[in-house]
Amino acid sequence: MIIPPFERDIIHRSISIEAREIPSKRTRVQILAVNEGLKLVIHAEDIVSLRAALNSFLRFIDSSLRSIRIISDLEDSSCKG
């Protein structure tokens, strides 16, 4: 999915915090801002850890993107109103 740079940067900053503070020693996560999107790199010792990290970070990204767009829509409607 291609996302605007300002959305990418907001998500990158917020999710990077989560990636640095993973409570599990079995998983390492890195999130990178690339071109018009994000690159999620997950290193896991086993498939269970990989699945857990992938699901968590996809949810973090989806929730962040939805929140940004809801706030943006509210700001747009208040400016027009």
User: Model confidence over 3-42: pLDDT tens digits?
Assistant: 899 999 999 999 999 999 988 899 999 999 998 899 999 9
CA atoms of 16 and 23, how far apart (whole Å): 14
Tell me, what's the pLDDT at 24? 84
Looking at residue 9, what is its pLDDT?
Answer: 95
For residue 2, is pLDDT > 90?
A: no
CB neighbourhood size of 75 (10 A): 10
Q: What local confidence, expressed as pLDDT, does residue 58 receive?
A: 96
Q: What is the pTM of this model?
A: 0.83
What is the pLDDT of the chain when averaged over all its residues? Answer: 92
